[in-house]
Amino acid sequence: MKKIYLFCSAGMSTSLLSSNMQEVANKHKLDVEVKAFPLAKIQEIYEKEHPDCILLGPQVRFAYDDIKKTYNKLNTPVGVIDAADYGTINGEHVLKSAVKLIKEGVK
């Protein structure tokens, strides 16, 4: 099972998106787990769960460079959720971009 974890300021706004992504994944019988967390817990969650992909909400994109540097070293791809997809809760688009990130791996 691939773990796709979303992080935002409090984990609340991304929880709707992560639920939508999980529904899309289930509908397509994809073996993925999508969850949302507050950015402040990223290290704790990573150590416990070892996600296959980290996605950041648009409101925490300022942390992208630091997070990418830290987690790419651990072979985990990091991306920022497209603001339009985030705003419209387009779980299918975000899921596709996460799967693409996982397939491409760390660059």
Tell me the CATH number at 57. 3.40.50.2300
Query: Collapsing DSSP states into helix, strand and coil, what is residue 40?
Result: helix
Residue 86's beta-bridge partner residues? Answer: none
What is the pLDDT confidence band of residue 10, given thresholds at 50, 70 and 90? confident
Q: Could you list the residue range(s) of the whole structural domain that residue 86 is in?
A: 2-104
Q: pLDDT (tens digit, 9 = 90+) per residue, 56-79?
A: 999 999 999 999 999 999 999 999
- pTM (two decimals): 0.95
Q: Which residues are catalytic, by number?
A: 8
Domain count, the chain: 1
pLDDT digits (tens, 9 = 90+) for 16-52: 999 999 999 999 999 999 999 999 999 999 999 999 9
With beta carbons less than 8 A apart as the criterion, state whether 74 and 26 touch.
no
Question: What type of residue sits at position 22?
Answer: Q
